[in-house]
Amino acid sequence: MHSEPYLLDPSADGVHVLWHTGAHATGAVLIGGRRVEATSSALVTLHDDQDVRTTVHRHWALVTGLGAAARTPYRVVSDLAGGDRVESATYSLAPAVPPGRPARLLLSSDHQMWRMTPANIEKVAETVGVELDGVLFAGDMVGVPDRAADWFDPPRGFFASLTGRADTEIAGRRYRGAPLLQHTPLFPAIGNHEVMGRRARHRTLQARFDDPAPDAWDTATYEALFPVPRGPDGPRWWSRTVGDVFVVALFVTRAWRDAVATYAEPPDRAGDPMGGQFRYARVDAGSPQYGWLAGELASPAARAARYRVVLFHHASHGLGAHCVPAYTDPVPDGAGGYAYPIADDVVLRDLAPLFAAAGVDLVVNGHSHLWNRFRDPAGVNWLETSNVGNSYGAFPDRGDPGGLAAVMPTVAPLAGPDGAPLPYVADNDVTVFSVLDSGAGVVRSYRFDTRHPDGPVVLFDELPLERNGPFLTLSAWERAVPNAELPLLE
């Protein structure tokens, strides 16, 4: 196995290049007549389909000295034991977009090896190319994070689709994905499918993944594959400026049990409660992640950016199945189940007011496998654009748990059976992707009907981004970081 390279976390004069081999090797990036040596290490958490530990070696090189250069051709080489050499094709890389310059960012999530994902990425490349300024990914890359095949294997592994190595047939057409990550850096956030459960209790990968506990879960594989960008808790949450866009990624996801309002322990788990749909990392007011977030949104970098974007997995605004139950601590109901009071939803109660005070322009979520968007009274746009493959449906009769009305697509909405336009896309044949174009001040959403392989990619929505009023207020800062030195606010 020799994977294609992928790019992470560009800086003013460099970018990280990573790739993987099945055998031990030394590796390097060849660029502009230079050889940049990679650091190699074994990923110890990955297993094959038979749950046998499989050795995958990571090669990681930081290519610097790019200055303000335009795109530069590069390729990676791996020298295997025994003298064999494997070289990639030639791709292009670039340093980070300078602050203040416009950027184009793909918004995606929830690939999970679903059948439409290669078609989705292929249509991205046909529509906007592969030389973008970033992919903002709102979590759920794979099914089981410790299973090597979910990441690397055709026909639909995560890296296979995003590097043009997939192989999936739909309606008589074969889709390969596209070589996107070889040219465009990935900026990921953690979803529930990036978290493994209790390793010692179970023999199979699926059983381990299905059995996290509040004191027994980890993101080891995710952190090894995506070691940067990094924040105060490593790669679990971070912030970066990409051109004129300030991006914050949060760890906002939980142990998924079932898309219902309560969760009851199965009989065979009596005496061993898993804690319901517990949250992996706290982000409520007063928590370290919340305090850090408030500081980042009040920072000079955030205030100088034309747009502020917050990226995380769970969607508290939405019509999808996974917007419920509320994102809060489970409350035992005395009968083996749990309640999740909507008034205590942490995203709605604590994060939304902070976003409003800080002038956040866009919140990007995943999790429910559909497209829908909302705009709250403060002018913050909430977008889920995760209808990449399998959809779990939309529930307009239930409505948004946060009480907002879904925004109707502005260009070409799909129609329901009665011919009425739909404010969502939740379809197992129609795949969706969205691109933030900060130069135009808009997020454009596109759809493609895989039942008609020769049909067009349809622009169906344009979301205008606007500055949404004041920056972080004094009261919001004091609530987020009590007793801290206050910044100078305008």
Same domain membership, residue 146 and residue 83: no
In this prediction, residue 445 carries a pLDDT of 98
Q: Chain centroid to CA 186: how far?
A: 9
How far is it, in rounded angstroms, from Cα 328 to Cα 428?
30
Q: How many structural domains does the chain have? A: 2
Total Cβ atoms within 10 A of residue 54? 18
CA gap 314, 297 in Å, rounded? 20
Q: Answer yes or no: are the C-beta atoms of 433 and 385 closer than 8 Å.
A: yes
- Using CB atoms within 10 Å of the CB of residue 39, give its burial: 0 to 12 exposed, 13 to 18 middle, 19+ buried: exposed
Give the pLDDT confidence score for residue 272 in this predicted structure.
60
User: For the chain, first and last CA: distance in Å?
Assistant: 54
Residues 418 and 472 in one domain: yes
Output the pLDDT for position 66: 93
- Indicate the SS3 state at residue 110: coil
Q: CA separation (Å) from 362 to 100, 118, 129, 312?
A: 18, 26, 23, 11
Same domain? 267 vs 376: yes
Looking at 66, 96, 126, the residue that finishes a domain is 96
In this structure, are 120 and 176 located in the same domain? yes
Rounded distance between C-alpha atoms, residue 387 and residue 140, angstroms: 12
The residue count for the chain? 490
Between CA 386 and CA 371 the distance in angstroms is 6
Q: What is the pLDDT of residue 311?
A: 98
Residue 355 resides in a domain: yes
Distance CA 215, CA 247 (A): 30
Residue 336's pLDDT is what?
A: 75
Predicted local distance difference test score (pLDDT) of residue 487: 42
Per DSSP, the chain holds a count of helices (H) and strands (E) of: 10, 26
CB 162 within 8 A of CB 213: no
Instruction: Please tell me whether residues 473 and 460 are part of one structural domain.
Output: yes
Q: Cα dist. 464→103, 108, 361, 483 in Å?
A: 15, 18, 10, 38
**Would you say the C-alpha torsion 278, 373, 105, 165 has a positive or negative sign?**
positive
- Containing structural domain, residue 56: 1-96
User: Which pairing describes strands 104-108 and 134-137: parallel, antiparallel, or unpaired?
Assistant: parallel
Before 229, cis peptide (omega within 30)? yes
Q: Rounded to whole angstroms, how far apart are CA atoms 168 and 301?
A: 42
The verdict on 123 and 86 lying in the same domain is no
Q: Are residues 42 and 147 in the same domain?
A: no
- Whether residues 30 and 110 fall in one domain: no
Q: What is the pLDDT of residue 30?
A: 98
Cβ atoms within 10 A of the Cβ of 172, count? 6
What are the structure tokens assigned to 44, written together?
A: 């110890």
Q: Say which CATH number the domain at 379 has.
A: 3.60.21.10
3-class secondary structure, 242: strand
In a domain, 401, yes or no: yes
pLDDT confidence of residue 484: 46
Last residue of a domain, one of 96, 113, 137: 96
Tokens matching residue 280: 């992996």
Query: What's the gap between Cα 486 and its chain centre?
Result: 32
The values of phi and psi at residue 192, to 5°, are -65, -20
Residues 180 and 128 in one domain: yes
Q: Are residues 108 and 71 in the same domain?
A: no
Q: Do 87 and 148 lie in a common domain?
A: no
Please give the pLDDT value at position 163: 98
**pLDDT string in tens for the chain (490-residue length):** 899 999 999 999 999 999 999 988 999 999 989 999 999 999 988 998 788 888 899 999 999 999 877 899 999 999 998 889 999 999 999 999 999 999 999 999 999 999 999 999 999 999 999 999 999 999 999 999 999 999 999 888 999 999 999 999 999 999 999 999 999 999 999 999 999 998 877 878 998 998 898 989 999 999 999 999 999 999 999 999 999 999 999 999 999 876 555 566 666 655 566 678 899 999 999 999 999 999 999 999 999 999 999 999 999 999 998 898 899 998 888 777 888 999 999 999 999 999 999 999 999 999 999 999 999 999 999 999 999 989 989 999 999 999 999 999 999 999 999 999 999 999 999 999 999 999 999 999 999 999 999 999 999 999 999 754 455 555 555 555 555 444 433 4
Residue (of 177, 170, 169, 167) closest to 124 by Cα position: 177
**How many angstroms from the chain centroid is the CA of residue 81?**
36
How far is residue 70 from each of residues 33, 63, 73, 96, 127, measured CA to CA in Å?
16, 14, 10, 10, 22
Residues 83 and 218 in one domain: no
Domain boundary among 62, 96, 130: 96
